[in-house]
Amino acid sequence: MLADLRDTAPLVQCITNVVVSNFTANVLLALGASPAMVDIPGEARQFAPVASGLLVNLGTPTGSQRDAMLEASEAAADAGTPWVLDPVAVGFLSIRTGTAKLLVTRRPTIIRGNASEIIALAGAGEGGRGVDSLDEPAAALEAARLLASLHGSVVAVSGAVDAIVAPGDAVIRVANGTPLLTRVTGGGCALGAVMAAFAALTPDALLAATAATGIYTQAAESAAATAAGPGTFAPLFLDALAAITPDDVVRGLNLSAGA
């Protein structure tokens, strides 16, 4: 799939937060995909059927951006464009939570978030501390299963060991990565865009979410090996995404499957 992504350069429409927009675009470019930050009403609806994949990220949901999210998700669903919902900081904050509750009914291909966000989206908790999770991925498995069952989505729960849950209760765990991903802006949000890129390559959303997570977190491990801290990690991570090969993935991927 990594080779396929670089051969086809899927076009990913990103309706994402202003804090991470530049980093997200650079992550997609480094990996070999093509970003399109089309996030205003009118254009968002027009672009979603043309895009290979769509990311909807609720990090800074202005009124205009919320309208664009609703337009694009509807147009993507109608056109069969795979799309990813990242319910950033849902739970306590009412506007983004209400928007997320509406968006999830449109059956996103993949839902990606930290454990507290997934629990809150399922209606089983009040979220974390802003964008920081107060829960571990294992605590979110039942909430992830519920969301997968209700909406037909694959649910990717990020953490020290990422858990990816499919409708039907299949669970894949990815034990790659580095804490430095939590210390740079966009470390989690950009992964949602990468998932949208991989979802454009296959109708198997579990495979797409697993491939995106595994490749992304392995590149992060490689960057962390020589980084002095968060400041040097971010550019090294972009370099590692550009340099990672399919053979690297085979050698380094740490997967397990189970309930």
DSSP lists the bridge partners of residue 85 as 56, 111
Chain-centre distance of CA 197, in angstroms? 10
Binding residue positions for ATP: 112, 158
Classify 52 as helix, strand or coil: coil
Cβ 37 vs Cβ 20: under 8 Å: no
**Which one-letter DSSP state was computed for residue 108?**
-
Residues annotated in a binding site for substrate: 37, 186
Sole residue written with tokens 């997934």: 118
Tokens of 246: 């399919």
Where is 31: in which H helix or E strand? helix 21-31
CB atoms within 10 A of CB 34: 15
Q: What share of the chain is helix, strand, coil (3-state, %, to 5)?
A: 50, 15, 35
Nearest to residue 221, comparing CAs of 244, 200, 193, 202? 244
Q: Which residue has the tokens 């995909």?
A: 33
Distance CA 18, CA 218 (A): 26
Which amino acids are annotated as binding site, given as ranges?
A: 37, 112, 158, 186
